[in-house]
Structure 1
Amino acid sequence: MEIMVFFSLLLLVCSVSTNQTEADNEILDQQISNQQPCPQDIHAVLREMAVSLALQTERITVLQKENQDQTAKLKEMGRQKTEIDQLKLQSKEQAAKLETEIDQLKLHSEVKQVAFSASLVNQGREEIGPFTTRIILIFKRVVTNIGNAYNPYTGIFTAPVRGVYHFDWKVFGYGNIRAAAVLFRNGEHIFLAEENPTSGYVSASDGASLLLEVGDQVSVRLWTHSRIFDDQNHHTSFSGHLIFTM
């Protein structure tokens, strides 16, 4: 009796185990059937990536070339701008030079005659010197000043046009002190008129023709340790005139 019960129990356990194994196999099969197919081959993926990388590299090369071209264009534009600025500056300089030349031509056409003559004093008697330095003599009594190139307040003649001018000057002295005066062009010593008396009255005179540029200044200066004088007879004088323009 006990043997029969044992075999009955064993059959029951085997039956349950077999049923469980079949159930597990069915679940596994279902899971396998539900899985997605495998992705494409890894080599194909790598090939696609290589092609894409090559395309990107080629694009980068093209962009680099375009960037180089743009940089070259910008440099060329900068060079052209510099040249344009230089041309503008040259144009301004040429325009200024042309304007100056036109003004000079106008001045040449307007100023055709220049002449002046003046003596040292207007009235009375005046002695000048001696001094240890050379001073500009101011000839106050103006009898002629065509063109107004001589300034009776400074004693300086200023050339209004480029040309050749002639100047004469005369100084009067007395006693035993030298009478002397020198003609100056700007800061340049030209000629000296000088007389060394021992007594009585003496005079010294000289003349010079000078090529002057516009604005050059001519004056007569008292020589050092010299003395001159003038009175109503107007012994001491300074004259000049334009000979011709150039």
Structure 2
Amino acid sequence: MKIKTMAVLLLVLLLCAGSSIAQDLLSPSVDIIAELEKLKHMDGRIQKLEETLTKVLSENEALKTEVRDSQNKLETVQKESEALKTLVQDSQNKLESLQKENEGKKVAFSAGLLASGTGKIGPIGDTKTLEYKKVFSNVGNAYDSNTGIFTAPVKGVYYFRFYGHCHDGTTMAISLLKNGQSQCSVHAWKPASNGNASNGVVLTLEIGDKINTVLWRNTWVYDDPASYTSFSGFLIFPL
């Protein structure tokens, strides 16, 4: 807008100057040589004005180019910023996924038979699932103290161990079951003094497989605050 205004002003000045010179030339007392000198000087000023105007126009074009370049750079930076945000979000999602996956692979529990006090379970006329109430640890919450059953949360290789205790003159027998099928057992038949037995096994489990121990019929098991009778297990590695 400023450049257009300057051009109009220059044109007006030239027209005015030309009109004044024409009137002077028609005057009978005009000094032709002096007037020609004035025209020469005026031509010089006009040329300078034209040069100035050309320079302004050139600078304006350079400024437009610079503005366009700046806009292009800004758009490039904005695109790179959006790409970076997407990359960061993807990385965060992957990290959260890995954290959840790792949390699911942390499985371990250990529990004593009685929550407190001293007592025995059995003898009874049928097998009985032992419910270990004193939970020492239950990482992954795969063991249920209300039922005495461990449910595999992930496919993998697990290790389980259990202990049983009985007094003299009594019989104790406990088996570890996988989905209702016996895997290994302990047995103490009427020891002369206190009897203890333990066993352990490594099992490959699918998600949802169930592990528990059962007391045989017509036998009994003893426990006290020392937790002589216990049940433990943990995930060795996932598959």
**Of residues 210, 213, 216 in structure 2, which corresponds to 1:220?**
213
2:129 corresponds to: 136
CA separation in 1, counterparts of 2:121 and 2:103?
38
Note the alpha carbon deviations across 1:72-113, whole angstroms, 9 max, x for none.
xxxxxxxxxxxxxxxxxxxxxxxxxxxxxxxxx997544121
**Of residues 173, 182, 189 in structure 1, which corresponds to 2:182?**
189
1:155 corresponds to: 148
The Cα RMSD (Å) is 1.6
**Of residues 211, 214, 218 in structure 1, which corresponds to 2:204?**
211
Q: Is the 1:125–1:230 contact (alpha carbons within 8 Å) kept by the matching residues of 2?
A: yes
Deviation at 1:118, TM superposition (A): 0.2
- For residues 216 and 106 of structure 1, do their structure 2 counterparts lie closer, same or farther at Cα, with a shift above 3 Å needed? farther
Note the alpha carbon deviations across 1:2-58, whole angstroms, 9 max, x for none.
xxxxxxxxxxxxxxxxxxxxxxxxxxxxxxxxxxxxxxxxxxxxxxxxxxxxxxxxx
Deviation at 1:198, TM superposition (A): 3.4
CA separation in 2, counterparts of 1:132 and 1:203?
22
Give yes or no for the alignment of 1:123 onto 2:119: no
TM-score, normalisation: structure 1: 0.55
Which blocks of at least 5 consecutive residues in structure 1 are unaligned?
Answer: 1-104
Which blocks of at least 5 consecutive residues in structure 2 are unaligned?
Answer: 1-97
- For residues 162 and 245 of structure 1, do their structure 2 counterparts lie closer, same or farther at Cα, with a shift above 3 Å needed? same
Q: Which amino acid aligns with 2:169?
A: N
CA separation in 2, counterparts of 1:159 and 1:106?
19
TM-score, normalisation: structure 2: 0.57
Structure ID, larger Rg: 1
Q: Which moved more, 1:178-187 or 1:189-198?
A: 189-198
CA separation in 1, counterparts of 2:179 and 2:135?
22
Q: Is the 1:107–1:161 contact (alpha carbons within 8 Å) kept by the matching residues of 2?
A: no
Q: Is the 1:159–1:214 contact (alpha carbons within 8 Å) kept by the matching residues of 2?
A: yes
Q: What is the percent sequence identity of the aligned residues?
A: 40
Note the alpha carbon deviations across 1:152-185, whole angstroms, 9 max, x for none.
1110000000001000000000121211100000
1:12 corresponds to: none
1:8 corresponds to: none
1:52 corresponds to: none
CA separation in 1, counterparts of 2:180 and 2:145?
19
CA separation in 1, counterparts of 2:214 and 2:100?
29
CA separation in 2, counterparts of 1:219 and 1:157?
6
